[in-house]
Amino acid sequence: MKKLIYMVNIDDSGSSIKHSDYSGYAVETWKYWCNKHNVELIINTDKDNRLGKPVWHKELIFEYGKDFDKIGIVDDDTMIKWDAPDIFESVNTFAGVVDTSDYNWILNSINVYKKFFPDLNINVDNYLNAGVLFFDKKYLSLFEEVLKFYFKNKTELDNWNKGGGKEQTILNYHIIKNNIPIQILNPGWNLVSMHKKDMFKYNWQLNIDQIPHFIKYGYIWHFTGFDPKHREDLMKQTWHSTKHLYK
Amino acid sequence: MKKNIVFMTAVKVPGKESRAAPYKYGIDSFKKWCDKRNHRLVVLEDPIFDASIMKPNFYRYFCFDLLENQGIEYDKILLTDADAIIHPDCPDFFELSDEKLSVTHTDGSYDWTVRSMENYAYELFDGKTFDIWKYFNAGFIVLNKSHRDLLKSFTNFYLENQEKIRFVQEKYKTGTDQPLINHFVHNTFNLPVNIMPYRFCMADLSNKNLLTDDLLYTNIKGIYQFNAIPNNVNDKLTYYWMEKTYKDLYEF
């Protein structure tokens, strides 16, 4: 079985935060994990001039992934724990973690993008965070469809100012549209908004160790959901406190 | 005739009357939801133990005996609390639950949840922890007759270890029945559980950015738990939100 992890790592010229400032920490962890589990890692650093924001390069997975059986897409602000098991062994359909971190944002996002999908309804019970996804190759065409959708609505999407993020909700609408069976992973496979969930703390009552909860219990740490200016520091600290375990 | 039962604990604790003040809204919402679906609501309002022996949080685990003593026949049972309001169109969780114990994952402050699991493990279960992603909220547990041994064993464990349990409750303040029943399900009995969506036990509404004046949470047809509300002095905000929610959903 050929397995792939695909990560887009392209700086956004329109953003004051450079991906390259923090993505190196993410890449180091994924390199280690992929090597350990015989998974190919493709890091896309090539800006495709047909595409606006770097996030749309994720849809190119339908080309990069065509020679693989199982595929994962991960954001470049994610780090995987050194001893996380091979998730591909348990993925059969289209797997991800339900986003429960900020329903105000989620409900608004579903609402503002509904104009493109008036006949579809997203059930929040199955609304996936698009930052970490694992799936069988038969679902690659989903991303081709999303890319076509992007091209069809490029001007509007490139100038979108109604909030609700970029491609995550659009992807979720396409999941519904195509009736794709969802496999829900436990939150440990995509820990978002870790600050809101008090995951940077440790068990200060027993004080047996000082390992933060996210490191002790999570598999994929997703440094998002907070002010991005803190991202580089948090990823750097995490890397420096754990890098000896990636050997 | 057997029915599915919503078993709700709504015991008024002397000295904590303000906590119980909004229970009427929770009870009435579940009553209406049950009536519409031919389920039965059973409300436990009277103490069954002296407060020095057992907190009311633990009473629900005597549900089998309490129901049978009243001659109530049952199929599946939901254990829940009275500080929750159910949306009138909340999907029927009895239909969605299988024969396994059906619960919702506690996805709030993991600092509290992890300490809750680890502290009780350290003090009462030889340090044995369990998969934190299976840690469930005790405010929503759907079970059936096959779980009778679990609850019997659990209540016996409490009565045999009550002093130590009260000590742990006071020392760490990381929960009462919830961490214990989690250890019992995941460690002692190693039972498979059916993890149901967040909508069936919508705790920590404020942290989920849902506790808004326009009642944003009611866009998700589920069960709203009015806990972990910031600055909730004397449970006044619990009353405020429960009254407001009940009136919006049931008195239009």
Q: What is the DSSP string of chain B?
A: --EEEEEEE-PPPTT-HHHHTTHHHHHHHHHHHHHHHT-EEEEE-S-SS-TTT--GGGGGGGHHHHHHHTT--EEEEEEEESSEEE-TT---HHHH--SSEEEEE--S-HHHHHHHHHHHHHHHSTT----GGG-EEEEEEEE-GGGHHHHHHHHHHHHHSHHHHHHHHHHH-S-SHHHHHHHIIIIIS---EEEEPGGGGB--TTTTT---TT-GGGGS-SEEE--S-TT-GGGHHHHHHHHHHHHHHH--
Chain A partners within 8 Å of B204 (Cβ): none
ipTM of the predicted structure?
Answer: 0.94
Cross-chain CB nearest to A104 (options B109, B122, B216): B216
Instruction: Specify the pLDDT at position A17.
Output: 87
C-alpha neighbours within 13 Å on the C-beta side of residue B175: 25
Q: pLDDT value at position A16?
A: 82
State residue A129's pLDDT score.
98
Percent of chain B with pLDDT over 70: 100
At A164 the pLDDT is: 95
B72: Cβ contacts below 8 Å, ≥ 6 apart? B5, B40, B42
Nearest chain A CA: its distance from B114 CA (Å) = 7
Nearest to A203 among B118, B198, B199 (CB): B118
Residues from chain B that touch A204, judged by Cβ atoms under 8 A, are: 115
* Entry pTM: 0.96
Q: Which of B111, B131, B199 faces A201 most closely, judged by CB atoms? A: B111
Average pLDDT in the B8-17 region? 88
Using CA atoms, how far apart are residues A167 and A131, in angstroms rounded to an integer? 10
What is the pLDDT at residue B17?
82
pLDDT at residue number B228: 82
Domains of chain B are 3-106+136-169+191-250 (3.90.550.10)
Distance from CA of B95 to the nearest CA of A (A): 16
Q: Which of B116, B209, B213, B224 to probe the A interface (max A CBs under 10 A)?
A: B209
Residue B15 binned pLDDT confidence (cut-offs 50, 70, 90): confident
| Predicted pLDDT at B235 | 86
With CB atoms and an 8 Å threshold, state whether B105 touches A186: yes
Whether residue B250 lies within 8 A of chain A, CB to CB, comes out as no
The average pLDDT across B180-186 equals: 98
* CB-closest option in A100, A125, A217 to B107: A100
pLDDT tens per residue across all 247 residues of chain A:
999 999 999 998 888 889 999 999 999 999 999 999 999 999 999 999 999 999 999 999 999 999 999 999 999 999 999 999 999 999 999 999 999 999 999 999 999 999 999 999 999 999 999 999 999 999 999 999 999 999 999 999 999 999 999 999 999 999 999 999 999 999 999 999 999 999 999 999 999 999 999 999 999 999 999 999 999 999 999 999 999 999 9
Q: Is B112 on the interface with A (CB under 8 A)?
A: yes
How far apart, in whole angstroms, are the C-alpha atoms of residue B151 and residue A119? 46
Q: Is A179 left (phi over 0), alpha (psi -120 to 50) or beta?
A: left
Contact A103 B217 (CB under 8 A): yes
Sheet of strand A128-136: strand arrangement: A40-44, A3-8, A70-74, A128-136, A94-98, A182-184
B115 touches chain A (CB under 8 A): yes
Among chain B residues, the shortest Cα distance to A105 is held by B209
The pLDDT score that the predictor gives to residue B13 is 84
May I ask the CATH class of domain A3-245?
A: alpha beta
Nearest to A206 among B110, B119, B217 (CB): B119
Residues of B in contact with A205 (CB under 8 A): 115, 119, 172, 174
Chain A CB within 8 Å of residue B231 CB: no
Query: Nearest CA of chain B to the CA of A214: how many Å?
Result: 9
Interface of A with B (CB under 8 A): 98, 100-105, 107, 124-125, 186-188, 196-199, 201, 203-206, 208, 213-214, 216-217
Which residues in chain A have their CB less than 8 angstroms from residue B195's CB? 186
Comparing A83 with B1, which gets the higher pLDDT? A83
pLDDT tens sequence across B35-70: 999 999 999 999 999 988 999 999 999 999 999 999
Q: Which of A104, A187, A206 sits opposite B118 (nearest CB)?
A: A206
Inter-chain contacts counted by CB atoms under 8 A, chains A and B = 73
pLDDT at position B16: 80
Mutating which of B89, B109, B111 best tests the A interface, going by the most A Cβ atoms within 10 A? B111
Domain boundaries, given as residue ranges, for chain A: 3-245
- The confidence score (pLDDT) of residue B97 equals 92
Residue A184: left (phi > 0), alpha (psi -120 to 50), or beta? beta
Region B154-171 average pLDDT: 97
Contact flag B217-A197 (C-beta cutoff 8 Å): no
Q: Mark yes or no for CB contact A198/B111 under 8 Å.
A: yes
Q: To the nearest whole angstrom, how far is the Cα of B217 from the nearest Cα of chain A?
A: 8
A88 in Cβ contact with A3 (< 8 Å): yes
Model pLDDT, residue B1: 83
Residue of A nearest to B132 (CA): A217
